[in-house]
């Protein structure tokens, strides 16, 4: 890092007042940038050669100065700065680049800046690593080299200096200069290309819609492009971008994306929010990432020789594709304000992808997958150290830790439970209202819950937050009473589910939307009621004493059920034929939990499982 001198013309002197009180802290931030300077938009030029471990960049950020500022702090990691200056009006003021805490640099101004606008200009170089993922990284396939990027959560700062937090959502104008024979891709469509005298090509991309830094992505290499037609209300062009020679392997992805995107548009009642949809295969990479306009996938997930393709592989791709495309609305169009609300991205994409696949391919048994996901989340939520869905972020490690089974699985299960309680239609209206209100902006949990409350009007906020803001899961014990006269009733009592040998004895309670299924003879009925206290009596609107009662209809509710041996027998009579397959899967999991809690012996459980 070096010191860079500059000059200040008369015009900029108007903005600089020596001796003015300085508000911005000189100490480096460690977790969040603070709020005296905000970006308006970026222009970034990158010189990227996939064969080279280093790259160079030039960034210009238009910013708003909100309060007198002596040091502008930016996120930057493993970057070397060559020049740095700040333009104010027609003038330029020199700055010194100072080192901050890990992931931060400061631009120390010769004189404090007063509120107004300015442009930060930085030339720098960085590293595109070969064997790691994060920021810019490279892959070699035979003699070919490729360059990709993965910014989420905190690695955009390795690719360019900036405001690397999700709330700073602004447009980006990107140019990528690459060597001869290479093609470059970005989130937005190509606007123009220019050839350099050295054979290089500069790809100029259209200015993006407002995006947070973690959603930007770049790709450079000798790619082949598979045209997958258009889809949806705006006839969005679809392409699959593959390493050279792999076009045939994109067949299934090219055929299936259109249907998935159109089902998502129908759910949201709004068109796909970006100009194009490319999906790109990355060799030797795991997972996928929801970059708007340029979704990245591990190659084995999205590509397969059609002669060797398998149904499980196709289902895996469709599931991930539906998840990533659901993010185009949940996360991309509406972005969490801060990482503690990562569930607004991941819980929603996980929940909606199952729903979409169930509509698209009903014989794929996604309803069973949903209950399995609930079972897995409940298991990990047993730990006293389990995270909350919405866990406060106190350090950068907390951001990484937020990408876990609680955010994805528990969050999705809780959404499914509230959807069942509120009703599919009202829930969808709440989702649409939330998306429309915050489109191209940011949101918090409150924004979603308020939208839901308007549609449902059932005290959703206070109930939902008992699942969002505390860890663990409730277990509901149910007892059926059938008096000689009057309606049958269920006495329900809740406590935190804990293994019998657990040292902790929790006093937690939840506000639980309890949906009960029960049957008399051949008929099956359902009844829902919000359980707000430790105990609740639920009068069943049944003509007689039910033959069986399942206090978790569909087993989608995010709570364990504990039943007496007698109630289990009535439930599982006739081999559990009264239950759906997902319910059978859920009941077995809850019986296992009853054993752990000491509410059922292994012998009693084993004697009943063969009935299923």
Give the nearer residue to Zn ion in terms of CB position, either 29 or 405.
405
Distance CA 447, CA 340 (A): 14
Give the nearer residue to Zn ion in terms of CB position, either 288 or 550.
288
Distance CA 353, CA 366 (A): 10
Residue 288 C-beta: closest distance to Zn ion, Å: 8
Give the nearer residue to Zn ion in terms of CB position, either 72 or 253.
253
Give the nearer residue to Zn ion in terms of CB position, either 346 or 381.
346
* Residue 395 · residue 340 · CB < 8 Å: no
Question: What sign does the dihedral 522-514-507-344 (CA atoms) show?
Answer: positive
Give the nearer residue to Zn ion in terms of CB position, either 337 or 346.
346
Distance CA 430, CA 417 (A): 15
Residue 481 C-beta: closest distance to Zn ion, Å: 45
Give the nearer residue to Zn ion in terms of CB position, either 229 or 287.
287
* Residue 413 · residue 464 · CB < 8 Å: no
* Closest residue to Zn ion in the complex (CB): 349
Instruction: Give the DSSP H or E segment for 563.
Output: strand 560-563
Residue 405 C-beta: closest distance to Zn ion, Å: 13
- DSSP label of 410: I
Residue 177 C-beta: closest distance to Zn ion, Å: 31
Residue 428 C-beta: closest distance to Zn ion, Å: 20
- Interacting span for Zn ion (CB under 5 A) from 54-62, 167-175, 178-186, 348-356: 348-356
- Interacting span for Zn ion (CB under 5 A) from 222-230, 335-343, 347-355, 427-435: 347-355
Can you tell me which residue has the tokens 């631009």?
107
Residue 445 C-beta: closest distance to Zn ion, Å: 17
Alpha-carbon separation of residue 47 from 50, 58, 428, 577 (angstroms): 10, 9, 45, 64
- DSSP label of 49: -
Among 84, 87, 326, 349, binds Zn ion (CB under 5 A): 349
Residue 464 C-beta: closest distance to Zn ion, Å: 21
Q: Pairing between strand 69-75 and 104-113?
A: antiparallel
Which one is catalytic: 324, 340, 346, 455?
A: 324
Give the nearer residue to Zn ion in terms of CB position, either 137 or 343.
343
User: CB-based burial of residue 406 (10 Å sphere; 0-12 exposed, 13-18 middle, 19+ buried)?
Assistant: buried
Closest CA to 215 of 28, 397, 55, 42: 42
Residue 407 C-beta: closest distance to Zn ion, Å: 9
Listing DSSP states for 75-134 in one string gives E--S-EEEEEEEEETTEEEEEEEEE-STTEEEEEEEEEEPSEEEEEEEEEEEE-BSSS-S
User: Which tokens belong to 520?
Assistant: 């008399």
Q: Pairing between strand 91-99 and 236-243?
A: unpaired
Length of the chain: 612
Distance CA 477, CA 493 (A): 5
Binding flag, residue 591, Zn ion (CB under 5 A): no
Q: Is 324 a known active-site residue?
A: yes
Exposure string for 538-551, b = 16+ CB within 10 A, e = fewer: bebebeeebbbbbb
Distance CA 547, CA 367 (A): 25
Residue 278 C-beta: closest distance to Zn ion, Å: 18
- Count, residues near Zn ion per rule CB under 5 A: 2
Exposure string for 177-196, b = 16+ CB within 10 A, e = fewer: bbbeebbbbbbbeeeeeeee
Residue 408 C-beta: closest distance to Zn ion, Å: 7
- Helix/strand number for the chain, H first, E second: 15, 29
What does the CA dihedral 52, 54, 58, 59 come to, rounded to 10 degrees?
Answer: 120
Query: Phi and psi at residue 207, in whole multiples of 5°?
Result: -60, 135
Give the nearer residue to Zn ion in terms of CB position, either 184 or 328.
328
Distance CA 320, CA 360 (A): 14
Residue 323 C-beta: closest distance to Zn ion, Å: 5
User: Which tokens belong to 222?
Assistant: 């000798």
Site string for Zn ion, 440-479 (x = CB under 5 A): ----------------------------------------
Q: Pairing between strand 80-88 and 116-127?
A: antiparallel
* Residue 225 · residue 246 · CB < 8 Å: no
Alpha-carbon separation of residue 385 from 311, 404, 558 (angstroms): 38, 13, 18
Give the nearer residue to Zn ion in terms of CB position, either 85 or 412.
412
- Using CB under 5 A as the binding rule, the residues of this chain from 327 to 346 that contact Zn ion are 346
* Residue 58 · residue 188 · CB < 8 Å: no
Distance CA 66, CA 87 (A): 16
Q: Which residues bind Zn ion (CB under 5 A)?
A: 346, 349
Active site residues: 324
């Amino acid at each position: 890092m070096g010191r860079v001198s500059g000059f200040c013309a008369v015009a900029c002197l108007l903005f600089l007042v020596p001796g003015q009180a300085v508000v911005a802290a000189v100490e480096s931030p460690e977790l969040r940038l603070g709020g005296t300077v905000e970006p308006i938009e970026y222009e970034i030029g990158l010189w990227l050669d996939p064969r080279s471990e280093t790259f160079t960049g030039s960034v210009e950020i238009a910013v708003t100065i909100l309060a007198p500022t002596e040091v502008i702090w930016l996120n930057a990691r493993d970057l070397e700065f060559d020049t740095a200056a700040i333009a104010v009006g027609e003038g330029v003021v020199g700055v010194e680049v100072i080192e901050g805490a890990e992931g931060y640099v400061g631009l120390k101004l010769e004189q404090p800046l007063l509120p107004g606008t300015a442009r930060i200009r930085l030339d720098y170089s960085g590293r595109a690593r070969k064997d790691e993922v994060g920021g810019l990284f490279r892959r070699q396939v035979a003699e070919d080299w490729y360059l990709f990027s993965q910014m989420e959560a905190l690695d955009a700062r390795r690719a360019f200096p900036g405001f690397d937090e999700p709330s700073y959502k602004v447009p980006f104008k990107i140019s990528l200069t690459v060597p001869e024979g290479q093609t470059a891709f970005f989130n937005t469509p190509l606007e123009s290309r220019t050839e350099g005298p050295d054979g290089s090509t500069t790809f100029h991309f259209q200015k993006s819609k407002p995006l947070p830094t973690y959603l930007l992505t770049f790709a450079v290499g000798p790619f082949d492009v598979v045209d997958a037609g258009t889809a949806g209300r705006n006839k969005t062009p679809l392409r699959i971008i593959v390493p050279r020679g792999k076009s045939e392997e994109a067949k299934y992805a090219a055929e299936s994306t259109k249907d998935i995107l159109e089902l998502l548009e129908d759910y949201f009642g709004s068109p796909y929010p970006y100009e194009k949809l490319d999906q790109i295969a990355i060799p030797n990479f795991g997972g996928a990432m929801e970059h708007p306009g340029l979704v990245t996938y591990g190659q084995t997930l999205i590509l397969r020789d059609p002669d060797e393709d398998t149904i499980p592989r196709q289902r895996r791709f469709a599931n991930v594709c539906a998840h990533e495309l659901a993010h185009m609305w949940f996360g991309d169009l509406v972005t969490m304000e801060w990482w503690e609300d990562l569930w607004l991205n991941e819980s929603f994409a996980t929940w909606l992808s199952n729903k979409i696949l169930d509509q698209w391919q009903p014989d794929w048994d996604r309803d069973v997958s949903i209950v399995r996901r609930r079972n897995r989340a409940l298991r990990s939520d047993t730990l006293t150290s389990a995270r909350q869905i919405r866990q406060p972020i106190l350090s950068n490690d907390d951001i990484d830790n937020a990408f876990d089974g609680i955010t994805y699985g528990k969050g999705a299960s809780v959404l499914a439970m509230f959807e069942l309680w509120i009703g599919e239609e009202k829930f969808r209206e709440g989702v649409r209202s939330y998306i429309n209100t915050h489109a191209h902006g940011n949101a918090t949990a409150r924004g979603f819950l308020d939208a839901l409350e308007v549609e449902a009007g059932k005290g959703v906020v206070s109930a939902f937050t008992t699942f969002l803001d505390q860890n663990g899961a409730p277990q509901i014990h149910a007892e059926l009473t059938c008096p000689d006269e009057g309606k049958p009733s269920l006495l329900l009592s809740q406590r935190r589910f804990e293994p019998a040998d657990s040292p902790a004895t929790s006093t937690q309670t939840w506000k639980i939307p309890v949906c009960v299924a029960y049957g008399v003879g051949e008929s099956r009925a359902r009844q829902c009621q919000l359980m707000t206290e430790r105990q609740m009596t639920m009068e069943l609107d049944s003509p007689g004493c039910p033959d069986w009662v399942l206090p978790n209809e569909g087993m989608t509710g995010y709570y364990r059920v504990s039943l007496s041996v007698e109630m289990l027998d009535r439930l599982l009579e006739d081999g559990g034929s009264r239950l759906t397959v997902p319910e059978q899967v859920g009941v077995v999991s809850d019986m296992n939990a009853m054993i752990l809690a000491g509410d059922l012996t292994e012998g009693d459980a084993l004697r009943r499982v063969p009935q299923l």
